[in-house]
């Protein structure tokens, strides 16, 4: 008679958590984005999409009944080049009800900044 639980006790079966992941920055950034997604859903978002492995200006798109929010999540700082890119997006979407935002994570809390189109345009 074979013990049914014997296979589950063997070493090497199942998932093993890596002790030191090589992509630590990616893991931390992804965790920040998931925190933002949970918060948006609590605020009443109907549909939230995270763009995986995105090197573009937008990390998260959140659709609410009355508006759409395009969100970039950063740790503490938004470089000027990326800010100009987001301002360009805000300018192109200014006629519609689409809001471009930056969520900066500082000391475990998010500081939300709405990006406005540049004034000289």
Work out the pLDDT band at 6, boundaries 50, 70, 90: low
Q: Per the structure block, which two tokens stand in for 30?
A: 């992804």
* CA-based max dimension of the chain: 81
Query: Cβ distance 93 to 79 under 8 Å?
Result: no
Q: Could you name the CATH architecture of 45-121? A: 3-Layer(aba) Sandwich (3.40)
Exposure on the CB side of residue 58, measured as CA atoms within 13 A? 20
- pLDDT for 67-90, tens place per residue? 999 999 998 889 999 999 999 999
pLDDT digit string (tens) for 13-63? 566 666 666 788 888 888 999 999 999 999 999 999 998 877 788 999 999
Q: What pTM value is reported for the model?
A: 0.76
Side-chain half-sphere exposure of 70, counting CA atoms within 13 A: 20
> Strands (DSSP E) along the chain, which ranges?
47-50, 60-63, 68-74, 98-106, 109-114
DSSP H or E run through 25? helix 24-42
- Token pair for residue 77? 């700082």
């Amino acid at each position: 008679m074979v013990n049914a639980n014997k296979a589950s006790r063997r070493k090497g079966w199942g998932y093993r958590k890596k002790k030191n992941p090589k992509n630590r920055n990616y893991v931390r950034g992804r965790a920040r984005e998931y925190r933002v997604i949970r918060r948006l859903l609590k605020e009443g978002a109907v549909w939230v999409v995270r763009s995986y492995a995105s090197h573009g200006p937008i990390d998260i798109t959140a659709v609410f009944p009355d508006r759409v929010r395009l969100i970039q999540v950063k740790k503490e700082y938004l470089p000027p080049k990326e800010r100009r890119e987001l301002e360009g997006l805000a300018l192109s979407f200014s006629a519609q009800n689409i809001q471009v935002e930056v969520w900066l994570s500082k000391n475990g809390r998010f500081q939300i900044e709405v990006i406005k189109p540049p004034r000289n345009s």
